[in-house]
């Protein structure tokens, strides 16, 4: 009997670092292998450098889910063509405005900081040196990934389902893992971790699977409620990856169309 061939089931990009992902039918890659429109904006602490310095920095220099789990409650809409950012929580508007112009960017950052200070867990209370937070990025260049390489990330539905069972949450929301590509049809959970060092073809694009992703406290934040409701790290090391809490893999594009579509086949080559 032939082995099942995985396919792409879901695609995400995250316009603003640590905030709401967009689910899309296709992702296009930049010439250096990043997802277009992914992590093109971020909110960085004021003491982390000049506001016009958009070079890569560690995620701990940003307002993010690792230090502000309540960000997950926010919905973010970034209209790239109109260059407008809107942040809201249900019917509550947090901030809205253009990202062009220093004053407009400062207003968005100030309003977001006011909201963050209302949260029980936040990185601003007691740290005045971190304010004002600054909105960084031009809304085009994908600059603010957790690693300087900014690689595509991928996990399988089988891995998510197996982890959810161990956590007592069979419907666990995979958005907490901040990945770009979700595949389904693997022969067993966490199979994709064994592909490190191999090449795969997704549709018409060839990737090298570089390494598994070691996870952090970000994964404990519920993508809807913003509460830290699942001990993902301990579940991973206890049941699946004992040396490090690993979930998902990173991909480096090496050839092909640079396009990933929902429904594309995934083939080890």
Cα–Cα distance for residue pair 117/114, rounded to 1 Å: 5
Residues whose CB is less than 8 angstroms from the CB of residue 246 and which lie 6 or more positions away in sequence, other chains included: 193, 212, 213, 214, 215, 236, 240
Task: Note the pTM of the prediction, 2 decimals.
Answer: 0.95
Q: Is 14 exposed, middle or buried (0-12, 13-18, 19+ CB in 10 A)?
A: buried
Pairing type for strands 134-136 and 42-44 reads antiparallel
pLDDT reported for residue 97: 97
pLDDT reported for residue 2: 55
* Backbone φ/ψ region at 252: left (φ over 0), alpha (ψ -120 to 50), beta: beta
Distance of CA 174 to the CA centre of its chain: 11
Joined tokens for residue 49: 């450098």
pLDDT reported for residue 202: 98
pLDDT reported for residue 3: 60
| Domains with residue ranges and CATH for the chain | 7-35+146-268 (2.40.33.20), 42-136 (no CATH)
Contact by Cβ (8 Å): 96, 85: yes
Q: Is 65 strand, coil or helix? A: coil
Contact by Cβ (8 Å): 85, 77: yes
pLDDT in tens, the chain (269 residues): 456 799 999 999 999 999 999 999 999 999 999 999 999 999 999 999 999 999 999 999 999 999 999 999 999 999 989 999 999 998 899 999 999 999 999 999 999 999 999 999 999 999 999 999 999 999 999 999 999 999 999 999 999 999 999 999 999 999 999 999 999 999 999 999 999 999 999 999 999 999 999 999 999 999 999 999 999 999 999 999 999 999 999 999 999 999 999 999 999 99
């Amino acid at each position: 009997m032939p082995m099942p061939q995985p396919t792409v089931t879901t695609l995400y990009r995250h316009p603003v670092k640590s905030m709401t992902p967009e689910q899309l039918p296709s992702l296009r890659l930049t010439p250096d292998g990043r997802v277009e429109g992914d992590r093109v904006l971020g909110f960085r602490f004021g003491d982390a450098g000049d506001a016009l310095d958009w070079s890569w920095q560690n995620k701990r220099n940003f307002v993010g889910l690792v230090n502000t789990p309540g960000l997950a409650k926010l919905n973010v809409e970034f209209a790239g063509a109109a260059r407008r950012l809107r942040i809201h929580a249900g019917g509550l508007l947090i901030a809205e405005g253009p990202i062009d112009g220093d004053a407009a960017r400062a207003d968005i950052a100030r309003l977001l900081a006011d909201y963050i200070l209302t949260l029980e867990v936040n990185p601003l209370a007691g740290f005045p040196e971190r304010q004002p937070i600054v909105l960084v990025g031009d809304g085009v260049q994908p600059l603010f990934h957790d690693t300087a390489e900014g690689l595509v990330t991928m996990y399988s539905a089988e891995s998510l389902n197996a982890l959810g069972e161990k956590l007592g949450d069979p419907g666990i929301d995979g958005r907490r893992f901040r990945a770009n590509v979700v595949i389904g049809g693997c022969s067993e959970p966490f199979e994709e971790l064994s592909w490190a060092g191999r090449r795969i073809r997704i549709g018409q694009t060839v990737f090298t699977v570089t390494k598994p992703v070691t996870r952090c406290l970000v994964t404990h934040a519920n993508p809807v409620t913003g509460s830290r409701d699942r001990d993902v790290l301990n579940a991973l090391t206890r049941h699946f990856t004992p040396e490090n809490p690993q979930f998902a893999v990173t991909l480096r594009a090496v050839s092909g169309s640079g396009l990933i579509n929902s429904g594309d086949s995934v083939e080890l080559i």
